[in-house]
Amino acid sequence: MSELDTIEKEALGAVAAAADLASLDAVRVAELGKKGRISGLMKTLGGMSPEERQTMGPALNGLRNRVQDAVEARKAALEEAELEKKLQTERIDMTLPPRVTPSGRLHPVMQVFEEVASIFGDMGFTVAEGPDIEDDWHNFTALNFPEGHPARETHDTFFFNPQQGAAPKVLRTHTSPVQVRVMESTKPPIRILVPGRVYRNDWDATHTPMFHQVEGLVIEKNIHMGHLKGCLIDFVKEFFEVADVEARFRPHFFPFTEPSAEMDVKYRKVGDAIEIGEGDSWMEILGSGMVHPNVLANCGIDPTEYQGFAFGMGIDRLAMLKYGMPDLRPYFEADAGWTRHYGFRPWLSPSVSGGLS
């Protein structure tokens, strides 16, 4: 029994002296492992007489349990000390700002709106907006659309049910009504850019019932066609980010301008991509003209004193040409994958000096 007391004292002392988990495990193996000292004494019970086993059995089991408990207690203490050390040395500074994970994309239509506004903003244009639901005066009559014009028919325009005694309202077919509203309420000089949604009864790969348009209007004294051409050529060069562009202004007809012209630019196709500015083919890119004297008079501006020019283009089509999107319909399908592919980081604001795209 005195030997057991000595073994216990030595074993508990070794456990208490273990400085780390590796040292503690070495003590456990030396005392309680298969070939350990206490395990060896347990094996001697089989060769003892019944009277000796009755005395030594409880004594050896008690010794083994006390050493096992001491090992477990020491292990818990060492693990706690190690964790505390890590907490002190590996502390996280919670005052640091988190890393920002970019999320979301700016739709190509909005990106192109921003690019167009940036270019014309440098030319002195300001943005004007108006309602999507218009009356006959602002959408047709003030803009010199005669009675019976195809645009006034239901196959081209979305009409609302008329109120009693009044002409039916329409979803605006262009943003030109905003030009009328500005001319009615503002004295020249006027230089505005009018972006927004417009609606026409059409649907295919390059047309949708709702699309986006931007129009420009300049009303001043002594404005002529040369100003219009210079303004639009400069815009196309800036927008498509090319050094030069070959353009032509082809005579056309619009009720609200006279003379009227469609602007064509040279382009070439390289694979599936279109390069604007040079090539052997012509592409119509926008409509334009000098504001019709009847429109000026309808809006309360003297056409003998003031002249002006106007232009209009489809934002969706500009985006298709510049960024290589083959079909207009996915613009409006709320496809997150499509937006991630074609979209833009919203904080990269385009500017003429800093870069558009």
Cβ distance 168 to 181 under 8 Å?
no
* Residue 87 CB burial class (10 angstroms; 0-12, 13-18, ≥19): exposed
d(CA 302, CA 267): 40
Cα–Cα dist 67/11, whole Å: 7
* CA atoms in the 13 A half-sphere facing the CB of 6: 4
Of residues 170, 111, 105, the one with CA closest to residue 136: 170
Report the SS3 class of residue 290: strand
Q: How many residues does the chain have?
A: 357
114 is in an annotated binding site: no
> 239-274: buried (b, 16+ CB within 10 Å) or exposed (e) per residue?
bbeeeebebebeeeebbbbeebbbbbbbbeeeeeeb
* Nearest C-alpha neighbor of 295 from the set 137, 116, 168: 137
Distance CA 159, CA 122 (A): 37
Q: How many angstroms separate the CA atoms of 73 and 161, rounded?
A: 86
Orientation of helix 225-240 relative to helix 108-122, angle to 10°: 130
Q: Are 162 and 200 in contact (CB under 8 A)?
A: no
Tokens of residue 79, six digits: 């693990």
CA distance 144 to 9: 112
Q: What are phi and psi of 318, to 5 degrees?
A: -60, -40
List the binding residues for Mg(2+).
258
List the binding residues.
258
